[in-house]
Amino acid sequence: MSYDWILGLTGLRHENHASHLSFFLFPVLITMLRQVCRLSTRTKVQPSRLYLVSSRAASTGKVLTVESMNPQIRNAEYAVRGALPIRAEALSKELQANKNKGFDRVVFCNIGNPQQLNQKPVTFFRQVASLVDNPDLLKPENRETLTKLYPSDAIERAELLLKHIGSVGAYSHSQGIPHIRENVAKALERRDGYPANPDHIYLTQGASSGVQNVLQLLTQNSNSGFMIPIPQYPLYSATLALIDAAPVPYYLKEEQDWGLSVADLKTSVEEARAKGVDVRALVIINPGNPTGQCLTEENMREVIDFCHKERLVLLADEVYQTNIYQPDQRPFHSFKKVLRSMGDKYQNVELFSFHSTSKGMIGECGRRGGYLECVNIDEKVLEQLYKVASISLCPNVHGQVMVDLMTNPPKEGDASYESYQKEVGTIYESLRRRATKLANCFNNLENMTCNDAQGAMYLFPRVRLPKKAIEAAKAANMSPDAFYALQMLEATGVCVIPGSGFGQEKDTWHFRSTFLPEEHLFDQFCSNIEKFHKSFMNEYRD
């Protein structure tokens, strides 16, 4: 089935249209055409009779219905933007007209979105971004005024970036601006102590698009399997549903601080292969989301050895690498650094690692900046990855600028160094305090336990719900943890995500909450949760 033939069917043959096919459109189109072809082959239906498939749609007056759409999209779920956040948005609007709900605002703890909860942007980053976005400010006639408003290093960085970018309103190289990829490579060398190749780095729309592109690249057919942690970030399960690939779950151990057992990995891969699944890759989220654990170097070596023996590609989601709250006990190590340190025997292990400007102390989620590094990947495969990146033309340039700033911040001696260090340090220490305070809050509640956050931005407490509450949830056609979370939202305005949206062991109930609400409001935030939980347990006590 040729690309031109597909474009002809869709009316997208014109190159300007074809070049704008998004990541999702092309695989969705392929899936739909395959299903039509299979139907025609199995039933020997003539092409003209294919119109009968849409007879129900015709009776409703709509060509596209939920029944006739791509089933992979219909089956995909993404809990962090699912039913509870939708209700939270509606509740936020209701508060504008009715202030008598017992709370004065909705607190969105459903997603790691720091600036939504008023985390201050890093000043140096915003200064450079504003100059890049409005280069007229850099003209000689404005220089005197400019130097009173902006530090010298921000001006110099903006001028250097514009030299390599031209205009942020223009398409860049599909792999990302070469100058910025070179800076990312230098940052990786400083972090790991091993060389990095700019040509093996792809700038992406946040980490998410990098993950999606790689999962798509690795999927040969619907039998292709991917090992994902449970609990997991639903980006993975949703993307696997969209591309019609097979999730192969492995369970993290809550009683061991959400630790990872290689023996469990072995069991998981063997069971999947026994069912005929072609297990191709292992996904590791480190530090963990939603669980907040941080792997030890020894554990990481075991994982790499496992991938080597089982011939699996390793996908390392490392977007929370600077969100480390127990640096002495559980420091962050990149999988690339550990892999390179293990000697020649392991240098055939293929690794994709992902990072983002959305997390850390930066929190620039809306700019959608990120990158992926490819280690030990076949050059012919990299050519195909470049082709996939080219279909979307390029990652957004504002996000690329933020990647440059993240990987190359002010250094000692620069005009902005001291203020940058102070801002970042203040955010970091506040996150550590809030993580501890919220974990203590959860652990002091009846029938609730919570592991401390070693990293990331979340806690994933377990709540042991009374039978009466479970029965009430069943009557409402909801999972018990979703029932609990919805009751919390309606009573307090706090929006969390039930554990069923991430996966959890059978008959256990959890929820994920960020610890991002402003610190000066944190005592009231915790108090509202405590009050709700006590009321809930009293109402549904067995």
Give the per-residue pLDDT at 79: 62
Model confidence, pTM: 0.83
Output the six-digit token pair for 278: 């072609």
Give the per-residue pLDDT at 59: 59
pLDDT level of residue 428 (50, 70, 90 thresholds):
very high
Give the per-residue pLDDT at 396: 87
Residue with structure tokens 């970091």? 428
Give the per-residue pLDDT at 60: 63
**In whole angstroms, how far apart are CA 178 and each of 87, 137, 370?**
43, 25, 14
Q: Which residues contact 475 (CB under 8 A, 6 or more apart)?
A: none
Give the per-residue pLDDT at 189: 97
State how far the Cα of 175 lies from the Cα of 36, in Å rounded to an integer. Answer: 34
Q: What is the DSSP letter of 280?
A: E
State how far the Cα of 405 lies from the Cα of 528, in Å rounded to an integer. Answer: 38
- Give the angle 529-533-536 at the CA atoms, nearest 5°: 140
**What is the CATH number that goes with domain 74-118+419-540?**
3.90.1150.10
**Percent of the chain beyond pLDDT 90?**
62
Q: Which amino acid is at 111?
A: I
Q: How far apart are the first and last CA of the chain?
A: 61
Residue 281 pLDDT greater than 50, yes or no: yes
State how far the Cα of 33 lies from the Cα of 10, in Å rounded to an integer. Answer: 11
Q: Show me where the domains of the chain are located.
A: 74-118+419-540, 128-407
Q: Tell me whether residue 278 is exposed, middle or buried, using C-beta atoms within 10 angstroms of its C-beta: 0 to 12, 13 to 18, 19 or more.
A: middle
Output the six-digit token pair for 116: 């939504």
Output the six-digit token pair for 9: 């069917």
DSSP string, 432-489: HHHHHHHHHHHHTSTTEE----SBSSEE--EE---HHHHHHHHHTTS-HHHHHHHHHH
Q: What is the DSSP letter of 114?
A: G
Q: Are 339 and 309 in contact (CB under 8 A)?
A: no
Q: Are both 74-118+419-540 and 128-407 of the same fold?
A: no
Residue 134 pLDDT greater than 50, yes or no: yes
pLDDT level of residue 424 (50, 70, 90 thresholds):
very high
State how far the Cα of 385 lies from the Cα of 392, in Å rounded to an integer. Answer: 12
Give the per-residue pLDDT at 81: 65
DSSP string, 479-527: -HHHHHHHHHHHHH-EE-EEGGGT---TT--BEEEE--S-GGGHHHHHH
Q: What is the DSSP letter of 64?
A: S
The mean pLDDT value of the chain amounts to 86
Residue range 57-66, pLDDT digits in tens:
455 688 877 7
As assigned by CATH, the class of the 128-407 domain is alpha beta
Beta strand segments in 20-135, E:
107-108
pLDDT level of residue 265 (50, 70, 90 thresholds):
very high
Give the per-residue pLDDT at 24: 43
State how far the Cα of 279 lies from the Cα of 310, in Å rounded to an integer. Answer: 9
Residue range 335-394, pLDDT digits in tens:
999 999 999 999 899 999 999 999 999 988 888 999 999 999 999 999 988 988 888 888
Give the per-residue pLDDT at 466: 93
DSSP string, 206-268: HHHHHHHHHHHHH--STTEEEEEEES--THHHHHHHHTT-EEEEEE-BGGGTSB--HHHHHHH
Give the per-residue pLDDT at 80: 61
Residue 20 pLDDT greater than 60, yes or no: no
Mean pLDDT value of segment 302-319 = 96
Output the six-digit token pair for 506: 């059978």
φ, ψ (nearest 5 deg) of residue 41: -70, -45
- 3-state class (DSSP) for residue 381: helix
- 3-state class (DSSP) for residue 374: strand
Residue range 188-221, pLDDT digits in tens:
999 999 999 999 999 998 898 999 999 999 999 9
Give the per-residue pLDDT at 390: 85
